[in-house]
Amino acid sequence: MLFCCLLYLGHALAQDTVRRLLLYANLKGQFGYLGGGKLSAAAIIGKHHEFGIGYDMYLQHARNTPADFLCWSCRHGPDKDWIAGGTLTYGYVIYSRFLKGFSRIILRTGVLLGAQSIPYQFQSVPNASPVRDNYTYRHDRHFAAAWVVNPSFDVALGRVVGFTLGPYGIVNKDFSGAGISFGAMLGSVAKTRPQERVRHTPKPAE
């Protein structure tokens, strides 16, 4: 009897979790000191917990680029410091009273595991023409890990489409910065349609 009760309770909890589950994709552009982009899939489970997996890329102007550097063809590779890789994130979901059920704040953080590239060993090209690269250079590519932060304010425009806006930051031993991200959500982004607030006037006492 106890086993049957536990089985029924587990089944009821699983059905409730599936009913509340939101599963969607995020596509974001990132603007600021670091540029880049993000593509991810996320699920909100149990109403307040978001779990995500994705791919991030961050770019910044190479710090050791010579002042007179020109990159016309960039045949030696991009003249940027960059870090890119897979991300695993967790976010705590807070629902806003504005457009109840259709807007939320997500306090999101996670880790990035991937690769990092830094151009180095810049060598000037003698008698370079004005329309050719005036330096040669190499890239130091290596494994990298970073801590990422990307809280966001999400608004669903319907059940399947919405937009997301928020600050982002990334920190690792020699690559860090912050900016603003903006993008779109696509999938199961909300369970219900926005409802107009109805004011109820109390009935007069008889």
For residue range 109-160, list pLDDT tens digits in order: 999 999 998 887 777 777 666 556 667 777 788 899 999 999 999 999 888 9
- Domain boundaries of the chain, sorted by first residue: 22-187
User: 22-187 maps to which CATH number?
Assistant: 2.40.160.20
Query: Is 205 a residue whose pLDDT tops 80?
Result: no
Which of left, alpha, beta for 140 (phi over 0: left; psi -120 to 50: alpha)?
A: beta
Structure tokens at 190: 């909300």
Whole-number Å distance between alpha carbons of 66 and 8: 69
Mean pLDDT estimate for the chain = 79
Full-model pTM: 0.73
Predicted local confidence at residue 131, as pLDDT: 59
Q: Residue 85: beta bridge partners? A: 56, 114
Predicted local confidence at residue 118, as pLDDT: 82
Predicted local confidence at residue 180, as pLDDT: 94
Query: Is 12 a residue whose pLDDT tops 70?
Result: no
Q: Amino acid identity, residue 127? A: N
Predicted local confidence at residue 77, as pLDDT: 59
Under DSSP, the state recorded for 28 is: E
Rg for the chain (alpha carbons), in Å? Answer: 24
Predicted local confidence at residue 78, as pLDDT: 61
Greater confidence (184 vs 65) lies with: 184
Q: Whose CA is closest to 51, among 87, 84, 15, 16?
A: 87
Q: Whose CA is closest to 185, among 28, 52, 11, 14?
A: 28
